[in-house]
A and B are shown apart, each in its own frame.
Chain A
């Protein structure tokens, strides 16, 4: 099987298997799988508003999915897209509420810039900690997720709290800092276009530039890159900054395009779902877009079947998790007949 085909077939097969398992789960719970899955599908794509909603649900997943696939491509396990997204949303809100008198373009640029920078700083911090003090980035990024959560909570209870001080939400962003909705009542906006545009940019950086090459090489064989004088430290910090910046930008877009304000539980876990999105996309930035759409559709459909069929959306989340398991199973040597290129190469007996 050619690599391109196997890279496409495996995720699709995994999705199919997971949906099959979801159907079994539905049947076990006494729901009619056919009816429920049809409802899920029409919830996600039934009419143009449903499609719009699916696209909107996918947008933050594209940003965070790109963030994760960039870092993972260098074997940097950034689990902190969630926190980086929240920092981005926080910075975007804090900046945006003061920009009432700015022009639309300038205000939007400033808000998005603030979000990206905040996320990049959070990411770069973890990259630097790994480089300088060998702090495992999995731990530092997860910890920073909690800090980000608390920071948002503190902000909406304190400095950013809306003027009447009765709700733990921020003040609404001024119109200048809010993205235009193209086709009300849908909230379709420029954010999705930005996200889709960033996918090829990420791909270009990873696969066409020297620094992207260095990141992938360091991730695959740090001993070889060290021998040839590629320093792992700087590229790790750069990759984490880019990764964090993408997630932060996703948070900023969410604020100025959809919610127009900040509140607690701002993210339903986009940063974590992004890991699934990136893995299903095989860390390929171009594939992140369809992968995010798939997960966005499931999220959207899950809400609909909860309303119409009384089926808990938790079941759909479980199915999303199953996809990863099925994908991993496809990669095990038994199923891949021992020719998986992702497995580390067996050391030749050096003293033979």
Chain B
């Protein structure tokens, strides 16, 4: 079959990180091509390059044998390449129909009511239910937003439609209908590129499968020739085979217990009956693909979100607001949630509620004490900074990460929760922060590491659990294999 879209030897760097390394990829008309890989494998970067959002450092993209020279979303769309992004990119304050009108309909000069009609007709012909609220999008669920974005992409009548993790936001019952939509599009002759990390979905619907790992294509195959187990092993790589949890850790008294913790939003359980026990000296690693409730779990533990049900016990006592100060959380997103880049280092320390309470007298900051503490922490955690008065933005990513960990540990918490502890760090920096956490546990602390990186999970966790669709499954050390963790992460074989 003729390739419709062809990408040749695409290479893309972000600073020192290689996001894509000489990647070849193609899409054919009337085919669903699943692009698989872990978080950070380069799937989204590849899509962004194909959709014209990013320019590759090297390599060419051709459509129908003609090279697409100037990369921009407009040229890509005009050529017939449309993308649906992982988090819907919609205009919050416009109506659904207006959002659609900003897609391909308006290019053909349609009035708003015609847009609504066309969109409705298109949705019906694909048996694809879409809600079109008349005012703005407030109250529209994420799954509905995703549908709206898909419909808008379709309005360009694309020849190639790329969808980035579109099923992550769907409720379990909506999945089969969605896969039918992909099949319907394929049968109309559209080239569908389906980006996912859920192996079962790819196996169910794809004609071809390309597997990315760390920016390289590691396999090209098709469902009849492979199995979910083989794919899982491919996706995760074999590096993790080396490191295994140390079983000889000293286990102290129970520090933290979660009982039936749930968080429901719009009827979807983002965190679903999570229960766990954590003892002093222990590191529990929670593996999982992003968007399966880790963020919400971290937010609940950080006390910035209230669970719908369930309770948190610290040292056997239900934890009140004050006791929650003993749980220090390192958030996932350094610059958006963890730090205030425009503020000074010592001020960033005071974001921690526990430190803010310590470093004040009657509401007045003990400024010199805070600056002194910051100096001590800079030294103790070898954070490369000129002074505590420097802005956080001036530190490199690794050192900003250390600052967050230093802040979390400075208040001497009973429990440390770190989300994506080593994200974006190079090997030595990652090893350094891992060592800090290990030390914390060895000195009687209890830690929860939430991570998508199995190297980190296997390297650091004394116990390993997997979170998938908001549910937590502890993997008994006895049958702890990479395949088993991989399958659980991919949402296969979940039994309580």
Which residues in A have some Cβ–Cβ distance to B below 8 Å? 208-211, 213, 216-217, 220-221, 223-230, 341-342, 345, 347-352
Chain B residues near A229 (CB, 8 Å)?
A: 302-304, 353
Check B180 for interface membership: any CB of A closer than 8 A: no
Flag if B351 contacts A208 (CB, 8 Å). no
Interface centre among B17, B45, B303, B365 (most CB of A within 10 A): B365
The reply on B397 being an interface residue by CB < 8 A is yes
Q: Is the CB of A221 within 8 A of B340?
A: yes
- Residues in chain A near residue B340, CB distance under 8 A: 217, 220-221, 224
B55 within 8 A of A: no
Instruction: List residues of chain B with CB within 8 A of the CB of A226.
Output: 304
Interface residue ranges, B against A (CB under 8 Å):
14, 17, 19, 39-40, 42-45, 299, 302-304, 329, 331, 333, 335-343, 347, 350-353, 356, 360, 363-365, 367, 391, 393, 397, 424
Tell me the minimal C-beta distance from A234 to chain B in angstroms: 14
Q: How far is the CA of A51 from the CA of B321 in the complex (A)?
A: 56
A213–B357 Cα distance when bound, in Å, is 13
Cα distance A213–B350 in the bound complex, in angstroms? 9
Q: Give complex CA distance A209, B19 in Å.
A: 44
CA distance A351 to B299 in the complex (A): 21
Q: Are A221 and B336 in contact (CB under 8 A)?
A: yes
Say yes or no: B335 contacts A220, CB within 8 Å.
Answer: no
**Total A-B contacts with CB atoms under 8 angstroms apart:** 88
Partner of B391, one of A216, A224, A341, A350: A341
Tell me the smallest distance from the CB of B449 to a CB of chain A, in Å. Answer: 18
Q: Which residues of A contact B304 (CB under 8 A)?
A: 226-229
Can you report 25 A-B residue pairs in the complex whose CB atoms are below 8 A from each other? A209-B363, A210-B364, A211-B363, A213-B350, A217-B340, A217-B343, A220-B340, A221-B336, A221-B340, A224-B337, A224-B340, A227-B329, A227-B337, A228-B302, A341-B391, A342-B342, A345-B335, A347-B336, A348-B397, A348-B424, A350-B333, A351-B39, A351-B43, A351-B44, A352-B40
Residues of B within 8 A of A225 (CB): 351
Distance between B104 CB and nearest chain A CB, rounded to angstroms:
26
Docked CA distance A280–B252 (Å): 59
A351/B335 contact (C-beta < 8 A), A208-B367, A224-B340, A345-B341 known: no
16 more contacts with CB within 8 A, not counting A345-B341, A350-B333, are: A210-B365, A213-B347, A217-B340, A217-B347, A217-B351, A220-B340, A220-B342, A224-B336, A227-B329, A227-B337, A229-B353, A341-B342, A345-B342, A349-B19, A349-B45, A352-B42
- For residue A342, which residue of chain B has the nearest CB? B342
Residues of B within 8 Å of A221, CB to CB, are 336, 339-341
Measured CA separation A341–B392 after assembly (Å): 11
A227-B304, A348-B335 given; A216·B424 CB < 8 A: no
Task: Compute how far the CA of A348 lies from the CA of B400 in the bound complex, rounded to whole angstroms.
Answer: 13
Complex interface: chain A residues within 8 A of B302 (CB): 227-229
CB distance from B192 to the nearest CB of A (A): 21
Least distance between B430 CB and chain A CB atoms (Å): 16
**Chain A neighbourhood of B337, CB < 8 A:** 223-224, 227
Q: In whole angstroms, what is the CA distance A227 to B303 when docked?
A: 8
Cβ distance B447 to chain A, nearest Cβ, rounded Å: 18
Measured CB to CB, the closest approach of chain B to A270, in angstroms, equals 30
8 smallest CB-CB distances across A and B, nearest first, come from A351-B44, A352-B19, A352-B14, A221-B340, A227-B337, A349-B14, A228-B351, A345-B341
**Chain B: which residue is nearest A350 at the CB level?**
B333
A348 to B360 Cα, complex, angstroms: 34
Enumerate chain B residues within 8 angstroms of A227, measured Cβ to Cβ: 299, 302, 304, 329, 331, 337-338
Does the CB pair B351–A224 fall under 8 Å? Answer: yes
Is A352 within 8 A of B17, CB to CB?
yes
Docked complex Cα distance between A345 and B339 (Å):
11
Contacts of B352 in A (CB 8 A): 228
Instruction: Select from chain B the residue with minimum beta-carbon distance to A226.
Output: B304
CA distance A345 to B397 in the complex (A): 13
Cα(A352)–Cα(B39), bound, Å: 9
Query: B342 near A209 (CB under 8 angstroms)?
Result: no
Q: How far is the CB of B39 from chain A (nearest CB, A)?
A: 7
Q: Which residue of A is nearest B337, CB measured?
A: A227
Known contacts A217-B343, A228-B352, A341-B393; A210 and B338 CB within 8 A of each other: no
A224–B44 CA distance with the chains assembled, in angstroms: 25
Given contacts A216-B343, A229-B353, A348-B397, contact A210 B360 (CB under 8 A): yes
B5 to chain A, nearest CB (A): 21
A178 to chain B, nearest CB (A): 36
Give the nearest-CB partner of B393 in chain A: A345
Q: Cβ of B367: which chain A residues have Cβ within 8 Å of it?
A: 208
CB proximity of A336 to chain B, nearest CB, Å: 14
Chain B residues within 8 Å of A213, by CB: 347, 350, 356, 365
Residues of A within 8 Å of B424, CB to CB, are: 348
A residues within 8 A CB of B391?
A: 341
* Least distance between B290 CB and chain A CB atoms (Å): 9
Say how far A344's CB is from chain B's closest CB, in angstroms: 9
Note all chain A residues with C-beta closer than 8 A to B353.
228-230
Is the pair A220, B43 in contact by a Cβ cutoff of 8 Å? no
Chain B residues with Cβ below 8 Å from A352 are 14, 17, 19, 40, 42, 45
In Å, the complex CA distance between A229 and B343 comes to: 18
Q: Give Cα A223 to B397, complex, Å.
A: 19
Q: Which A residues are CB-close (under 8 A) to B339?
A: 221, 224
What are the residues of chain A within 8 A of B397 when measuring CB–CB? 348
**Which of B45, B343, B350, B351 interacts with A351 by CB under 8 Å?**
B45
A210 to B352 alpha-carbon distance, docked (Å):
12
Docked pose: A211 CA to B362 CA in angstroms: 11
Q: Which residues of A contact B360 (CB under 8 A)?
A: 210
A270 to B172, CA, bound (A): 59
Q: In the assembled complex, how far is the CB of residue A213 from the closest CB belonging to chain B, in whole angstroms?
A: 6
Cross-chain contact B363 with A210 (CB below 8 angstroms): yes
One of A209, A224, A347, A348 near B365 (C-beta < 8 A): A209
Nearest-neighbour CB distance to chain B for A222, whole angstroms, equals 10
Task: Chain B residues near A211: list those with CB within 8 A.
Answer: 363
Give Cα A216 to B342, complex, Å.
10
B341 and A351 form a contact (CB under 8 A): no
Residue of A nearest to B299 (CB): A227
Please name all residues of chain A whose beta carbon is closer than 8 Å to the beta carbon of B393 when the two chains form the complex.
Answer: 341, 345
Residues of A within 8 A of B342 (CB): 220, 341-342, 345
Closest to B321 in A: A229
In the docked arrangement, what's the CA distance between A229 and B43, Å? 34
Distance A98 CA – B230 CA, assembled complex (angstroms): 88
A347 to B336, CA, bound (A): 8
Specify which chain A residues have a CB less than 8 angstroms from the CB of B347 in the assembled complex. 213, 217
Scoring B331, B343, B393 by chain A CB atoms within 10 A of each residue's CB, the highest score goes to: B343
How far in angstroms is the closest Cβ of chain A from B394? Answer: 9
Closest to B359 in A: A210
List chain A residues, Cβ under 8 A from B43.
351
Complex Cα gap A217–B351 (Å): 8
- Complex contacts, A228 vs chain B, CB 8 Å: 302, 304, 351-353
Q: Report the bound CA distance from A291 to B129 in whole Å.
A: 60
Least Cβ–Cβ distance between B168 and chain A, in angstroms = 13
Min distance, Cβ B440 to any Cβ of chain A, angstroms: 20
A347 contact set on B, CB distance < 8 A:
335-336
B397 CB, nearest partner CB in chain A, Å: 7
Query: Which of A213, A228, A229, A349: most chain B Cβ within 10 A?
Result: A228
B contact residues around A351 at 8 Å (CB): 39-40, 42-45
* Inter-chain contacts of B333 with A (CB < 8 A): 223, 350
Interface centre among A208, A227, A347, A350 (most CB of B within 10 A): A227
Residues of A within 8 A of B336 (CB): 221, 223-224, 347
Closest beta carbon of chain B to A107's beta carbon, Å: 32
